[in-house]
Amino acid sequence: MDFHDRQVVVTGGTGALGTAIVGMLLEAGAMCYVPFVHQSEADRFPHRDNRRVTLLPNSELSEESLVAHLFDSVPRLWASIHLAGGFAAGPIAEASKRDLMQQIDKNFVTCFLCCREAVKAIRQAGGGGRIVNVAARPALEWRTGAGMAAYAASKAAVAAFSVALAEEVAKDAILVNAVAPSILDTPANRQAMPEADHSRWPKVEEVAQTLLFLAGPENKVTRGAVVPVYGRS
């Protein structure tokens, strides 16, 4: 993969999957722009001192003006990878409208706004580009969303939006895709589910490889896909 001198935004880039994909992008020669909200995210980010990493503070991705400002600060955008989101579970009888809207904001609204600004920026740069979003297994297999219905619905919106957007911007040589992970093998998920068979979960490095291809110039034809990245789970 050759990302030499290509500008890439990675939202959620300070998380486990984000750290993996940013590392791969840097190895491939990319310039990475990583938004964050809390300073602690930046402080623990292992790539923070890399000269080809720009950390963008105060980046609340559900706020239109802040998202617009973020993308305005990136010159000649090639790709935008959207990992930012949130998870919540619980029975529907105990859920409030606020709980639902939080999931919609964290997962779908952030994706929508970042995609909108990425399309503008890639068009302005010329030469086409790539957008990759992150859905989830319940976005494709709705019954697996039992007990987390608001989350499943918000991620299903991401999946449908990604496919619709891919058709809309194909004429601009912008290829839009999404991945749909099952439970990722991260320290936080292991702690939350200590009795699970962690060996079956997809590793963040493995999922990052799929993201890298979809965001790269070597991907010349794949668009409108929601790619299951389940591992053996």
Q: Which residues belong to the active site?
A: 151
Closest CA to 85 of 148, 34, 135: 135
CA dihedral 89, 95, 100, 102 (to 10 degrees): -70
Sheet holding 53-56, edge to edge: 53-56, 31-35, 7-11, 77-82, 129-134, 174-181, 226-229
Phi and psi at residue 231, in whole multiples of 5°? 65, -135
